Homo-oligomer: A and B are copies of this chain.
Amino acid sequence: MTPEAARALFPVLDRLAYLNAGTFGPLARDTVASVDEELRSDLEKGRFGRAYFEQMLGRRTETRAALAALVGAEPEQVSVTGSTTDGCNIVLAGLDLGRDDEIVTTTEEHFGLLGPLHASGARVVAVEPDAEAIAAAVTPRTKLLALSQVLWTTGKRLPVQELREQTGVPVLVDGAQSVGAIPVDAAGLDFLTISGQKWLCGPDSTGALVVADPERLRVARPSYFSQIGYEHSGSFEPAEGAARFDPGWISSATLAGLLTAVALRPDWAFERAAERSARCRELLAPLVDVVPGGATLVAFRHDDPPALVARLWEAGVVVRDLPGTGLVRASCGWWTNEDDLARLVAAL
């Protein structure tokens, strides 16, 4: 598949310079067709029957395999969730931390991570998103590092594996802006969240949680999928592997859409996304104050980000502002072409 053929998968790119996969990826025609086909079957054949349930379970298994392959994990380490927030909540609830425990995080995390940290009851220590500052904040009370692999603000990358190794503290990695955007290796990471709807271009409310050692995390939010047998008291025998953390039903249609989206990714996706992001930085550098970053998010400073975002929107260029930061953010994917970037530059 050539870059131009790949691009033609996404109808939204026909009309817009869509540079916002950091929020939602573009949807491919085939992805929506997969969802549609299943919905039509549900409508006409009903949502029941052995074949129906077997297909749904099979798609869960396929989803585990596809996402595991993407990050170098085992399928048994993958829980199929609805979002990265879901994943963060599952981990924090299961760790049973208390007020005497500390979590080290950064001052530039998304609420999807911060909310669960706060809800855990542990003391949250937020430091500058810098490897030295993070390592220096670790104390004997630190039970978890909770870090984005790529910051949603500036796109800066954090050396999560190295920090895990250096500090010896378990790490929860928010992969919302890394998985699907840059090569990610789950090896050495205790917990890794994945978003299906951003860089993987999947349907809404899809995602995953990779748990290196499922046996060692308590199932704090059980669903029917968590168990293979239970007592009247609710005490249960957990399902094998990370499937025990699956937080609930996901329609066969949604799973089919996610699988199609992942299967459509060309092998040159990472290389091309990196090249496009570098090109975006290069084109923007003479025009605006681009902040340093090493992934597929390109952020730059502006006096009035909401006004600029609205003005670019009028010009058919989709970027977003990051409230409270003075930053505007453009997301470059493997589908981004020179014309998209030219439109951004022209509109600026």
Stretch from A60-68, A114-122, A290-298 forming part of the interface with B: A114-122
Q: Does A221 contact B (CB under 8 A)?
A: yes
Q: Does A36 contact B (CB under 8 A)?
A: yes
B205 touches A318 (CB 8 A): no
CB within 8 Å for A42 and B23 given contacts A82-B248, A221-B89:
no
Contact of A47 among B24, B218, B220 (CB under 8 A): B24
CB within 8 Å for A233 and B43 given contacts A85-B223, A205-B251, A224-B85:
no
A39 touches B48 (CB 8 A): no
Q: Which of A220-270 contact B (CB under 8 A)?
A: 220-224, 226-227, 230, 232-236, 247-251, 253-254
Q: Does A174 contact B (CB under 8 A)?
A: no
B43 touches A29 (CB 8 A): yes
Instruction: Find chain B residues with CB under 8 A from A110 CB.
Output: 224
In angstroms, Cα B133 to Cα A46, docked, is 38
Closest Cβ of chain B to A109, distance in Å, is: 8
Q: Does A179 contact B (CB under 8 A)?
A: no
Closest Cβ of chain B to A17, distance in Å, is: 11
Q: Does A71 contact B (CB under 8 A)?
A: no
A36-54: CB near B (< 8 Å → 1, else 0) gives 1001101111111110000
Q: Does A26 contact B (CB under 8 A)?
A: yes
A43 touches B23 (CB 8 A): no
Q: Does A93 contact B (CB under 8 A)?
A: yes
Q: Does A185 contact B (CB under 8 A)?
A: no
Contact of A222 among B27, B111, B232, B251 (CB under 8 A): B111
A190-231: CB near B (< 8 Å → 1, else 0) gives 000000010000011100000000000011111110110010
Instruction: Find chain B residues with CB under 8 A from A232 CB.
Output: 107, 109, 114, 124, 126
A248 touches B86 (CB 8 A): yes
Instruction: Find chain B residues with CB under 8 A from A250 CB.
Output: 204-205
B16 touches A222 (CB 8 A): no
B204 touches A251 (CB 8 A): yes
Instruction: Find chain B residues with CB under 8 A from A86 CB.
Output: 247-248
A83 touches B205 (CB 8 A): no
Q: Does A170 contact B (CB under 8 A)?
A: no
Q: Does A308 contact B (CB under 8 A)?
A: no
Instruction: Find chain B residues with CB under 8 A from A89 CB.
Output: 221-223
Closest-by-CB residue of B relative to A28 is: B43
Instruction: Find chain B residues with CB under 8 A from A79 CB.
Output: none
CB within 8 Å for A116 and B39 given contacts A18-B46, A46-B26, A234-B124:
no
Instruction: Find chain B residues with CB under 8 A from A114 CB.
Output: 230, 232-234
